[in-house]
Amino acid sequence: MKSGGSRWAFAKRWETILVLILLAICIINSMASPYFLNPHNLFDSTQSFSEKALIVLSMTLVIIGRDIDLSVAANVALCSTAMGWLALHGLSTSSLLVASILVGTVAGMFNGFVITWFKVPAIVVTIGTLSLFRGIAYIVLGDHAFTSYPANFWELGQGYLFGMIPYEFLVFLGFAVIFYVLLHRTIIGRNLFAYGNNPDAALYSGIQVNAYRFWFFTLNGAMCGLAAAFLTSRIGATRPNMALGWDMETIAMVVLGGVSIMGGSGTMLGVLLSVFVMGMLTFGLGLVNIPGIMMTVVVGCLLIGAIASPILVKKFADWKRERVGI
Amino acid sequence: MNKFHFNRDAILGFIVASLLVLIALRAPVFLSAGSLDTLVTDGALLGMMAVAQMLPILTGGIDLSMPANMAFTGMATALLSKAHPTMPVLLTVAIALGIGLVLGAFNGAFIAYLGIPPIVVTLGTMSIFRGAVFILSRGAWVNAQDFGKPYLAFPMGRLLGLTHIAWISALIIAAAYVFLNHMKKGRDLYALGGNPSAAKYVGINSTHNKMLVYVITGLASGLCGYLWVARYAIAYTEIAMGFELQTIAACVIGGVSITGGRGTIPGVLLGAAFLVIIFNALPIINVSPFWQMAISGAVVLAAVILNSRSERSQGKVILEPNRVPAAKVAL
């Protein structure tokens, strides 16, 4: 996608395209519903994607490093189950938050350990842990739900700063800055791009590829724990089937943000924009009463379309050049 | 190392057999005719789909959209049967195969012709197909009394004591065995997954073969979609949800290498048998069915770790060392 030098290079950047898509969605939304441009509604709508977006940030690092984590949704369910169980035993809100992040971190570590120690592909390991994590939630809960939490627990996911900006959204913005710096301004980020592009070359130039992969899976788990705390607090209950489909949605957001699924390239800015594109799209579809399952169809189409369109454009360009050549 | 792989199916067979014996000792009712009949019919569906899943995995891919394809085909045929109760079975099967083929070709086009990773494409189509079921049915269920008689009667009909589902599955698995072991196209798939660049140089067309693979999984899903809906006499949006994990689990337990190029049909069938026996035994030995998911996850992880040991340090030796003249080795 990069074609530096030309005056139009800016217009060809994926981020620019995303900004245009975002603007288009906002314009269409505000025409379709008079409630869209209300600031209260807009800030409220960030709640529906802030939790997912937290995982998207760390998933970006995992995917740039040529890996994938299909177990994030199950990890969220596992963390939430742990919180619900601990809440029954009288833990306070702050210790529940810590516990959730701890459980997520350990689960992420387990992924990272099996993947790097036994040298097996991330996809099959996380398919296994997907069943295992959610399976544990099912064993603990069966067809029941945890619904008793401390009195002030709801504030985590439903509290507002100045009565308007959800805490979740602020936390997400804070982490977005941290992840931006981590990926684009530190040696950790440079090394990640290096091994994402060519793991062998990176290894031979002294980057401890497996250590990085292990810690990025661990980080991804920790973010799942954080997201689980917010989600549980927002909906006020733990069910074993919660966050179903989040693995696909988070991966779709990362890929839509211009991160190559083959690893090695992508920007945090693009991922942030795609988070907002998806968030505003969901919000708009909700405003015009389109059912949730239709949203998964849209996400599926976006996922395939976002990857297929640059390839199609390139194929078409090659085909045209060939014709002119002949 | 090779010896371990050669014996792998035998070891797995032994494990499956001892599992059966252990469960039967604990609860003899497990070996009753009715229980075994359910076991065979469940196993036939999982076995057929696991063998289908094996093909994309052999080529280094994966198909996560198979259960969503099943749900769509199942719902489409169910609605047709509701509208035309007398629709003959052959026509139903043909329609099911046709829909399955189209959905599979959709996957194949993106994977084979555009070169998009199979995991991404099928992750996307998994939710697109599932959403399409909802659009098609408007969220409504098709219940037992809504179906036409022939639709429900055929799959559960019996021949020599076994359900038609079991016979169809056996036929398809036998065909797959011949295809993979005795036909050039089948061997090409192993070559393609084992070493893609070598396969390219010996003239194996990866585009056509990948397309073929996803068309086959589509066809199998279409057929199974009909059989599944007819077996349980109900069609709804979430049918067979999560079944892709079981098919992948059966392959991994059966020793199919997830990176492609390795795996046998007997192994996959033993993997499927292992899972079906455990799942069907749980309620009999008084374990909550909610344990199913965690057990299959744990078993997949265990199998993956075991496989990784047997797969390490393979694929380096090109010629038998003792057949190469010493002078050339020194080169």
The pLDDT tens digits of the residues spanning B254-306 come to: 888 888 888 899 999 999 999 999 888 888 887 888 888 888 889 889 888 88
pLDDT higher than 80, residue A82:
yes
Q: Give me the domains of chain A, ranges plus CATH numbers.
A: 44-243 (1.10.3470.10)
Return d(Cα B228, Cα B235) in angstroms, integer: 9
pLDDT score for A224: 96
* Mean per-residue pLDDT, B163-177: 91
CA of A203 vs chain B CAs: smallest distance (Å): 19
CB contacts of B121 in chain A (<8 Å) are: 304
Confidence band, pLDDT 50/70/90 cuts, at residue A212 = very high
Segments making up each domain of chain B, as ranges: 2-310
pLDDT higher than 90, residue A133:
yes
For B244, name the nearest residue in chain A, comparing CA atoms only. A127
* Mean per-residue pLDDT, A271-298: 86
pLDDT score for B29: 82
pLDDT score for A4: 45
Confidence band, pLDDT 50/70/90 cuts, at residue B1 = very low
Mark yes or no for CB contact B290/A128 under 8 Å.
Answer: no
pLDDT score for A2: 45
* Mean per-residue pLDDT, A74-98: 92
pLDDT score for B196: 84
Mark yes or no for CB contact B300/A128 under 8 Å.
Answer: yes
Please give the torsion angle defined by the CA atoms of residues A59, A61, A63 and A66, in that order, rounded to the nearest 10 degrees: -150
The pLDDT tens digits of the residues spanning B24-44 come to: 888 888 888 888 888 888 899
Return d(Cα B49, Cα B65) in angstroms, integer: 12
For A294, name the nearest residue in chain B, comparing CA atoms only. B131
Phi, psi torsion values for B162, nearest 5 degrees: -105, 150
Query: Under a CB-based contact definition with an 8 Å cutoff, are residues A132 and B291 in contact?
Result: no
CA of B298 vs chain A CAs: smallest distance (Å): 6
Name the average pLDDT for chain A.
88
The pLDDT tens digits of the residues spanning B39-64 come to: 888 899 999 999 999 999 999 889 99
Give the end-to-end CA distance of chain B in Å, rounded to a whole number: 27
The pLDDT tens digits of the residues spanning A172-189 come to: 999 999 999 999 999 999
pLDDT higher than 80, residue B190:
yes
Mark yes or no for CB contact A133/B297 under 8 Å.
Answer: yes
Confidence band, pLDDT 50/70/90 cuts, at residue B77 = very high
Query: Under a CB-based contact definition with an 8 Å cutoff, are residues B261 and B287 in contact?
Result: no
Whole-angstrom CA distances from B258 to A78, B61, B107, B194 are: 26, 8, 19, 11
Mark yes or no for CB contact A304/B116 under 8 Å.
Answer: yes
CA of A320 vs chain B CAs: smallest distance (Å): 17
pLDDT score for A21: 87
pLDDT higher than 50, residue B328:
no
CB contacts of B120 in chain A (<8 Å) are: 251, 255, 261, 303-304, 307
pLDDT higher than 60, residue B229:
yes
pLDDT score for B24: 86
ipTM of the complex: 0.82
Q: Which of A125, A296, A303 sits opposite B301 (nearest CB)?
A: A125
Q: Which of B115, B124, B134 sits opposite A300 (nearest CB)?
A: B124
Residue with tokens 């993106």, as numbered in its chain? B110
* Mean per-residue pLDDT, A70-91: 92
Return d(Cα A265, Cα A197) in angstroms, integer: 8
The pLDDT tens digits of the residues spanning B110-126 come to: 999 998 889 889 988 99
Confidence band, pLDDT 50/70/90 cuts, at residue B309 = confident
Give the end-to-end CA distance of chain A in Å, rounded to a whole number: 26
Q: Which of A114, A131, A293 sits opposite B296 (nearest CB)?
A: A131
With helix as H, strand as E and coil as C, how does B87-113 read?
A: CCHHHHHHHHHHHHHHHHHHHHHHHHH
CA of B123 vs chain A CAs: smallest distance (Å): 7
Task: Confirm or reject contact between A136 and chain B (CB < 8 A).
Answer: yes
Q: In terms of CATH architecture, what is B2-310?
A: Orthogonal Bundle (1.10)
Mark yes or no for CB contact B297/A297 under 8 Å.
Answer: no
Confidence band, pLDDT 50/70/90 cuts, at residue B322 = low
CB contacts of B252 in chain A (<8 Å) are: 124, 128
The pLDDT tens digits of the residues spanning B269-282 come to: 999 999 999 888 88
pLDDT higher than 60, residue B152:
yes
Q: What is the pTM of this model?
A: 0.85
pLDDT score for A322: 82
Confidence band, pLDDT 50/70/90 cuts, at residue B84 = confident
Confidence band, pLDDT 50/70/90 cuts, at residue A237 = confident
pLDDT higher than 80, residue B310:
no
pLDDT higher than 50, residue A249:
yes
pLDDT score for A12: 65
pLDDT score for A1: 44
pLDDT higher than 60, residue B321:
no
pLDDT higher than 60, residue B312:
no
| Residue A117, number of CB atoms within 10 A of its CB | 12
* A84 class by beta-carbon count within 10 Å (0-12 exposed, 13-18 middle, 19+ buried): buried
DSSP string, B35-56: HHHHHHHHHHHHHHHHHHHHHH
Task: Confirm or reject contact between A245 and chain B (CB < 8 A).
Answer: yes
pLDDT score for B323: 53
